[in-house]
Structures are given as C-alpha cells and as structure tokens.
Amino acid sequence: MPQAAAPTRLTDRKRAAILAAAVAEFRASGFDATSMDRVAATAGVSKRTVYNHFPSKDALFLQILGDMMARGSDALDLPYRADAPVRGQLLELVQRKLQLLHDPDFADLARIAIVAGLHHPDLARAMIATLGQREAGFAAWVRAAADDGKLATDDPAFAAQQLESLVKGFAFWPQVAMGQPLLAEPAQAAVATAAVDMFLARYG
C-alpha cells in the first residue's frame, strides 16, 4: 500500500504547485497574457504535466475560481440558530464575508475574472456555471431564518443578494473596479453594522 500511495502524494504535490503557480501568474499578468508554458516554468514541472492535470488554460482558471468559491462557501457556512439573536448571527456572517473580500488573492482574481469574462463569452458562461453550483452562505442563512419566521421575506435569495450588495458596494466593487485600497478594520466594522441594521430594518 505505501508503494501505491507515494506516486499519489507526488501527483497531489505537483497539482498543488501548478495551481499556486497559476494563481501567481494570473495575478501578475492577467488571463490573456498568462500561458501554460509560464505556469509550468513557475511550478517547476513540464508543460505535459500541466496538461495532464488541466486540459486548457480555461479549465485551469475555472479550477482556481471553483477552489476559491469553495473556500468562501466554507467560511460562510454559519448554520442558522433559532436560539440565538438574529442580529448577532448576521453580524458574524457579514464579518466573515468581509474577511474573505479582504484576501488580496480574492480581489485580484475577481478582477481578472471580470476582465476575462468580458473578452471571452464562453469562459464567462463557464464561470457563471461554476459559481452557481453552491448556494451562497448569505442565501442559506436567510432562507433558514425566514423559514423560522425571524425574517419577513417570501424571496430569501433576493433578500440575501440585497444584503451582499450592501457589503460589496463598499468592500468589493470599489477595490475591484476602481483600485481603491482594502478596508481597514474600523471601516469593515462600520460597513458590517450599517449593512445588518439596514437589512433588519427592512426584513426583521
């Protein structure tokens, strides 16, 4: 058994190296200027090895986005608690979202994805399909709170999107589209509090 496991571990390490190299190359050069040759060189593997793991640059980029969204979904996997105050739960959920948005990798890759999607419609459709595979943490929590009668909405997905927009209007779009700096902790706290209070004023 150990003899069979060793090649698997080596393959996993190479795959991880390819993904890390691709993130670095995409962040440094953007989607169009990044090549599989450059990813292979940065990862220290052959070009054939890269293609053995990922059949195309599109597939490699989609894998990175999928992994990023999976980490984001895990971070926002805050189960609704019927025995806890709604406002406190929402504040924690929004604060977790802000921590995710504060990740430089996330902001850079989001910017690259938007630009790449504008120039490559097929890739844009694939990205939408990839990102739509998971119900966002906001939506899952709002749906559970609405089912419990703690939020007054018959469209939890719409309400959750409004809440997310309140956050991203300050902590995502200015940084991605306008090159503004990431929010400092006091600004994050202010955005979280205002977003939650506005949301509860409408749906609480």
Helices (H), the chain: 2-33, 36-43, 47-53, 57-75, 86-101, 104-119, 121-131, 137-147, 156-171, 173-178, 185-203
pLDDT band, very low/low/confident/very high, at 68 (cuts 50, 70, 90) = confident
What does the pLDDT read at residue 135?
47
Span 117-129, average pLDDT: 82
Cα dihedral across residues 34, 17, 124, 73: positive or negative: negative
Q: CB count, 10 Å around CB of 191?
A: 21
Q: What is the pTM of this model?
A: 0.75
Say if residues 165 and 94 touch (Cβ distance below 8 Å).
Answer: no
Report the CATH number at residue 26: 1.10.10.60
In-domain check, residue 61: no
Residues of the domain holding 106? 69-203
174 burial type by CB count under 10 A (0-12 exposed, 13-18 middle, 19+ buried): middle
Higher-confidence residue: 68 or 1?
Answer: 68
What does the pLDDT read at residue 2?
47
What does the pLDDT read at residue 6?
59
Residue 86, pLDDT > 90, answer yes
In-domain check, residue 84: yes
What does the pLDDT read at residue 122?
87
